[in-house]
């Protein structure tokens, strides 16, 4: 890591529910780690969950989800642009509706202790407290991490108070085969 860059810990939620879900996440994390100012430090286990959807929406394929701890020298907005470029490379259309199936989904959960509320970015992620598929893998990596306002709680506390009742199954094998194979 270059000494002239201020590096920050960040946590990303990753998921996919189209195609070879694990392979797509794995490839995206390899590409993310290859960027000059991003280092993938740790990844959670892979979790499978049914897709959240709007009332009346047809069933869509199940998601594979996980959380990634990175160190980055990028600003939060530059990191968002980098992750959106990876989603686009995987075939996700920016014009697709919010609840549509996707080959890759990357959400910025937290970038350092930064808070933001702009048209393009809200930090911490505004719905993380409603998503066990985010909180369970995140608690694997950093259960005592303090999530700033508006949550003002640890990841573990947010998991314990999460009302999401969707089934969530931890899968065997790593979320990122290529980066962390034994």
Q: Examine residue 166 and say whether the peptide bond preceding it is cis (omega within 30 degrees of 0).
A: no
107 noted as active-site residue: yes
33 noted as active-site residue: no
- Which 8-state DSSP code applies to residue 43? E
Active-site residue (options: 105, 120, 131, 152): 105
71 noted as active-site residue: no
Active-site residue (options: 33, 53, 81, 102): 102
Active-site residue (options: 21, 92, 131, 132): 92
Among candidate residues 104, 114, 96, 115, the one with its CA nearest the CA of residue 25: 104
Measure CA 81 to chain center.
Answer: 14
Say if residues 12 and 107 touch (Cβ distance below 8 Å): yes
Active-site residue (options: 21, 107, 131, 132): 107
3-state helix, strand, coil in the chain (%, to 5): 25, 30, 45
* Residues tagged active-site: 92, 102, 105, 107
């Amino acid at each position: 890591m270059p000494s002239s860059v201020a590096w920050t810990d960040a946590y990303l939620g990753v998921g996919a529910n189209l195609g070879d879900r694990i392979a797509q996440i794995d490839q995206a994390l390899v590409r993310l780690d290859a960027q000059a100012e991003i280092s993938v430090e740790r990844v959670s286990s892979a979790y499978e969950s049914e897709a959240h959807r709007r009332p009346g929406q047809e069933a869509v394929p199940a998601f594979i989800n996980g959380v990634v701890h990175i160190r980055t020298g990028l600003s939060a907005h530059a990191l968002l642009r980098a992750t959106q470029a990876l989603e686009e490379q995987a075939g996700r259309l920016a014009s697709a509706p919010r609840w549509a199936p996707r080959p890759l989904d990357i959400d910025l959960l937290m970038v350092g202790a930064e808070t933001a509320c702009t048209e393009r970015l809200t930090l911490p992620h505004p719905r993380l407290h409603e998503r066990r598929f985010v909180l369970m893998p995140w608690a694997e990596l950093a259960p005592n991490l303090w999530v700033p306002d508006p949550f003002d709680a640890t990841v573990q506390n947010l998991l314990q108070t999460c009302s999401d009742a969707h089934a969530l199954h931890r899968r065997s094998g790593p979320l990122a085969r290529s980066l962390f194979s034994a």
